[in-house]
Structure 1
Amino acid sequence: MTVLTGVDDARLFDGVDLHTLASRVQTPLYAYSSSVIRQRTTALQDAFAGLDLRICYAVKANSNLAILQLVAQQGVGADIVSVGELHRSLRAGIPAERIVFSGVGKTAEEIRAALSAGIWRFNVESADELLLLQEVAREEGVCARAAVRVNPDVDAQTHAKISTGKAENKFGVSIDEARTWFVRASRMSHVQLDGLHAHIGSQILNLEPFRHALRRVEDFRQELEAAGHPIHSVDIGGGLGVRYRAGHDRPIAIEDYAALVRETFAAFKGTLVVEPGRWLVAEAGVLVTRVIRVKPGADREFLIVDAAMNDLLRPALYDAWHDIVPLRPRRESACYDVVGPVCETGDTFARGRDMPRCEAGDLLMIGGTGAYGASMASTYNSRPLAAEVLLDDGRYAVVRRRQTLAEMMLGEQLPQDWHEA
């Protein structure tokens, strides 16, 4: 699902000329296509039509308020992992009753805030958290609805740093441990444990890991029901992969994934929950960067651009591939290491990449950056956060302006009031 069509139109993204955009908004900048996000959301809703399904967007993928408002307008809820994401989601118009709270480190203060907001349910990841949820809910005089996150011990066949469903990962609990929770929860006065949750990892390009994990969850659900523990919701997480490398990555067709879910949970009469993040927004975003200079090296050329690892961390963190497309392509080709200005060897977007020859001042588009791009950005090397721009069929709106140097240092101060401790 791409909106870049051929050499003559390579500068257009969702009908917006990226050269014009870059002349008005300083690079580096993120640009997001509203059209692609709507198309993805509609495709997901159509694939699961007829099921009792809730889509809860994984806010961590891209937490910009404009993106959250856009998915809210499509009837999508939120999967959050912090009180900050809770406040963002509510401010963007996502109803509290369509919010699920995941994550291994929820604090009492975060649980209290979520209960006060009236979120739909908590995905609980440890016995300690379950007891804390009971305690805080009792203090608040409410009953918290919860699901246990089970770890099905399935290899997602993805990068080790985004695998979450194996026994050695920090997420969830074993099915054996979860079994004891339902006995314990039946005696809890302020927690209604009536759901299951599983998420085995991200950027999964093969149906088999899903097949194994979902089968284990459904078998466990049936066991619980037979033992007198009714299950009203099953959250199957997210993890669907996207196309980062053209001609190489082959994402799972959403229709095939939906067919697997329908088949696996055919006997389940409750609510199914999916938590897409990357799949909804990754291919809807690009990072536009400008070439600062071409630097000859001993055995390669370095294409130095004004974006850096603080703007897009994935290549440095995961050795992740992103397609890089010059917006003024030339006939002759060259081989580059595409690097940023940050003082780290890891500040590298591509190594030995064959692409059209570039010159200082040229614009490049780094694709597939709508997820885990701006949301993972930092001000390392005292580099201000990049602007974010929402595009929509030939129009654009700045939805986060580029951070100023003064804003970057806001909250810092020289020592004035010293205190003994």
Structure 2
Amino acid sequence: MNDPLCKSPDSEPGATILIVDDVPDNLAVLGALLQPKYTVLAAPSGARALEIAAQQPPPDLILLDVMMPDIDGYEVLSRLRQQASTRDTPVIFLTALDDPAEEARGLELGATDYISKPIRPAIVLSRVGNQMDVIRARNVLRDQNRALEAEVARRMADNDRTELVTIRALAHLAETRDPETGNHILRTQAYVRALAMRLQRHPDFSPLRDDLYVELLVRSAPLHDIGKVGIPDNILLKPGPLDAAEWAVMKTHARLGAEAIELAERDIDQPVPFLALAKEIARWHHERWDGTGYPDGLGGRDIPVSARLMAIADVFDALISRRTYKAAMSFEQARGLIEAGRAKHFDPAVVDAFVNGFDEFVAIANTYRDGA
């Protein structure tokens, strides 16, 4: 039999056995026995066996002599188990040793079976056949698991797209009531992400160290003004400044948005993390660091992180955007007002992150400018 390959026309596709033995006669006998049914690879030494096993694809099964002069079977098995490609390859030891301790040692190292020498053809075929049945079952299970994982991934992607579309649809619903906002939701969403990235390592913003939290925060940002759907047109669309009574009604949009999201939460069996953040943002993004905001008069770190980031994102975008009742400010003017609101309107650390990343905010505003 030639090293390394002997192949029969009747070999099972994909069923490859590597025989390792330093005695040529043993290789010949085992090769002749197995060739009618399997593709057979042969190695006359442990070193050569490791070379063949390292090739791709690796053999499906290895028959491994224990007593060999250069590298014995135990060492070969140990090295096979250290390689990712052969870690799970089943190995049947071939041995003339009649010692239960040696058999136990091999099994502890990861051998799947033992065949005693001298070789008995019926035993070899039976043991090899049993391992092939296990391999086929394992491969079927692996393929089923891969198919299941692919299906789970597909469904998760579908759910993710559905969630994103739902959020965007709700945000656009609010936007249709206030058509001047344009790309406001895209810009504020990008501002929030930029702030979150800049504050991830800040000791006072530990939630932002969780990438999933950041993703949910960014995903939730477009819902910050969802409560505006509950504001009457004569107030929401008024071309001039609001009087005190109208402003009192306008401010209720924060509470209305949070309550609408809370009602949605009650309609489902399990909590949805992004809704919790969306509710925080909707209710508290108009709170102020000094406690003079609305609707609840929260101050300082009592204001959730999500709302503190949204506050600057929302105000900055409002300042640089044109409205029927005001002209758009320059980027520099808006930055000046944000800085003036440090420790009054806004969290000082968030203001610092905004100022340090000001060029990024300008780039975002230009990328998603209205009419672009």
* Fold equivalence (TM over 0.5): no
TM-score (norm 1): 0.22
Q: If you compute each CA radius of gyration, which structure gives the higher value, 1 or 2?
A: 2
Judging by fraction of residues, say which structure has more helix.
Answer: 2
Task: Give the structure, 1 or 2, with the largest relative contact order (CA under 8 Å, sep 6 or more).
Answer: 1
Judging by fraction of residues, say which structure has more strand.
Answer: 1
